[in-house]
Structure 1
Amino acid sequence: MIEILTNRLMIIPCSLDIAKSLVFHRKELDKQSPIEFPICWPSAFVKGFLPLYIENLESKEKKNDCGLWLIILYEEKRIIGDILMQGKPSKEGMVELCYHVDEKQVDETIAFEAVDAFIDWLTYQKFVTKVVMECEVAQERSIRLFEKLGMLCTEKEGRFLMWEIQKKDFE
């Protein structure tokens, strides 16, 4: 299994078993898992995505090649958020990500550490040359995070901002 490790975090892909347990057997998962799954996790966005994710993992063809990754606060053995890779990288090497962290339980440096490590891993393992992320104008924490990552705001559509960082920016 792939593990992305930082000083405080372990970022791992969400397995089919965990995804199914989240949907169908949450109480059992909470009882038996050595990792704590907070009540507030997953987010509504990820809950809505899980059936498609399960279907994709069960499919032999892996149509979307999307990925749900769990962000685990290593010492506490507690999930604090997730990163969602929305499809496989395009032919040009572009991938869209979104992230969710429990802002009530962790500070902004944790989100930076997680997203930075994941983008670093992506650029070396998946031949990604551009990462795109989106947020709303009112999401000040996300805007600060994207700026700290060195991302540029490339588009504003209504209340949404599109951010990107390219491979040359990583070096």
Structure 2
Amino acid sequence: MIEILTNRLMIIPCSLDIAKSLIFHRTELNQRSPIEFPHNWPSPYIKSFLPFYIENLEETIEKEYECGLWLIIYYEDKKIIGDIVLQGRPSIDESVQLSYHTNQDLDETIAYEAIDAFIDWLTYQKKVNKVLMECDEKQHDIIALYTRLGLVCKKKEGKVLIWEISKGD
């Protein structure tokens, strides 16, 4: 299994077993897992995504874990603190779209550390040349984070800002 490690975090793809357990056997998952799954995780977005994700994993081989839901684990506490969603495989122009969710009580450096490590992994291991991310124009904390990560706002669609970072940046 792929593991992306930083000083404080471990980022791993969500397996079919974990995804199914989140929906069908949450109590048992909480009791048996060495990793803590907070009661407020997953977010409503991820909850709605899980059935599609499970269906996709059941139809593909295990290597496909790397496209989809990734778990951000705070290593010291062995606790899920968020997730990253890789929205499909790289396109013809070798670009991918990401979204992320982290516990709002956390220091912003955690989100920075997770996204930065994930983008590095994508560009060096998966040969991705461009990463796209979105946010609302009023999400000033996220805008600051994207700017700090080196993403550049390339487009505005209504109130949604489309951010991009290219491998050459």
TM-score by structure 1 length?
0.94
In the alignment, the residues of structure 2 paired with residue 60 and residue 147 of structure 1 have an alpha-carbon distance, to the nearest angstrom, of 36
Per-residue CA distance 1:51-81 (angstroms, 9 max, x = gap): 0100111003799973210000000000000
Once superposed, which parts of structure 1, at least 4 consecutive aligned residues long, lie more than 4 Å away? 61-65
Per-residue CA distance 1:40-59 (angstroms, 9 max, x = gap): 11111111000010011100
1:165 aligns with 2:152: no
1:92 aligns with 2:89: no
The residue matched to 1:168 in structure 2 has which SS? coil
Equivalence for 1:21: 21
In the alignment, the residues of structure 1 paired with residue 52 and residue 66 of structure 2 have an alpha-carbon distance, to the nearest angstrom, of 11
The residue matched to 1:30 in structure 2 has which SS? helix
The runs of 5 or more residues in structure 1 that have no matched partner are none
* Bigger shift: residues 14-23 or 53-62: 53-62
Q: Percentage identity across aligned positions?
A: 65
How far did residue 142 of structure 1 move?
1.1
Equivalence for 2:72: 71
Equivalence for 1:31: 31
In the alignment, the residues of structure 2 paired with residue 99 and residue 141 of structure 1 have an alpha-carbon distance, to the nearest angstrom, of 13
Equivalence for 1:147: 147
In the alignment, the residues of structure 2 paired with residue 3 and residue 76 of structure 1 have an alpha-carbon distance, to the nearest angstrom, of 17
One-letter code aligned to 1:92: D
TM-score by structure 2 length?
0.95
- Against the structure 1 CA distance between its residues 13 and 63, is the aligned structure 2 distance closer, same or farther, given a 3 Å change threshold? closer
One-letter code aligned to 1:137: E
CA contact (8 A) 1:130 1:164 kept: yes
Q: C-alpha root-mean-square deviation of aligned residues, in Å?
A: 1.6
How far did residue 103 of structure 1 move?
1.2
- Against the structure 1 CA distance between its residues 65 and 117, is the aligned structure 2 distance closer, same or farther, given a 3 Å change threshold? closer
In the alignment, the residues of structure 2 paired with residue 126 and residue 140 of structure 1 have an alpha-carbon distance, to the nearest angstrom, of 30
1:120 aligns with 2:120: yes
